[in-house]
Structure 1
Amino acid sequence: MKKSLVFLAVGLGCILLMSGCSAPRITETGRTAVEQFLLSTVVESGIGSVDFSPFFEKKVFVDYDYLESQVDKSYIKGVLEMHMAEHGLVVCRDVKEADYIVQILCGVLATDTSKFMIGTPMLPIPIPDTSISVAIPEIPLFQKLTRSGYGRFSFNILDAKTRKPVKVISGVEASTYYTNWTILLVPFKSHNMPLQIKEGTQTSFDLDY
Structure 2
Amino acid sequence: MQHFRRRFRTLSFVFLALPILCACTTVRVTRPERTATEQLLLSTAAEAQARSLDFGVPAGKKVFVEPANFDGYDSKYAIAAIREQALRKGLRLVAEKKDAECIIEIRAGALSADQKALLIGIPSFDLPVPLAGGAFSFPEIALFKRGTELGVAKFSAASYDARQGTLIATAAPPASASYQTETVLLFFISWSEDNLDRPEE
TM-score (norm 2): 0.87
2:54 aligned partner: 51
CA contact (8 A) 2:72 2:112 kept: no
- What aligned pairs does 1:33-112 form with structure 2 within 5 A after superposition? 33-52=36-55, 54-67=57-70, 69-112=71-114
Cα distance in 2 for residues equivalent to 1:132 and 1:99: 71
- What aligned pairs does 1:124-139 form with structure 2 within 5 A after superposition? 124-139=126-141
Cα distance in 1 for residues equivalent to 2:57 and 2:106: 17
How many pairs were matched up?
A: 195
Query: Of residues 186, 190, 201 in structure 2, which corresponds to 1:187?
Result: 190
Matched, 1:32 2:44: no
Q: Which ranges of structure 2 fall in alignment gaps of 5 or more residues?
A: none
Cα distance in 2 for residues equivalent to 1:34 and 1:175: 14
Cα distance in 1 for residues equivalent to 2:82 and 2:161: 19
CA contact (8 A) 1:111 1:150 kept: yes
2:168 aligned partner: 166
> Once superposed, which parts of structure 1, at least 4 consecutive aligned residues long, lie more than 2 Å away?
1-8, 10-19, 51-55, 123-128, 192-195
Query: Of residues 119, 122, 146 in structure 2, which corresponds to 1:120?
Result: 122
Cα distance in 2 for residues equivalent to 1:125 and 1:43: 44
TM-score (norm 1): 0.84
Give the SS at the match of 1:56.
coil
Q: How big is the alpha-carbon RMSD for the aligned residues of Structure 1 and Structure 2?
A: 2.1
Query: Of the two structures, which has the highest relative contact order with CA contacts closer than 8 Å and spacing of 6 or more?
Result: 2
CA contact (8 A) 2:55 2:171 kept: no
Give the SS at the match of 1:57.
coil
Work out the percentage of aligned pairs sharing the same amino acid.
27
CA contact (8 A) 2:55 2:104 kept: no
With over 3 angstroms needed to count, the CA separation of the structure-2 counterparts of 1:141 and 1:14, relative to structure 1, is farther
After the TM superposition, which of the residue ranges 106-115 and 9-18 deviates more from structure 2? Answer: 9-18
Q: Which ranges of structure 1 fall in alignment gaps of 5 or more residues?
A: 196-204
2:13 aligned partner: 8
Give the SS at the match of 2:28.
coil
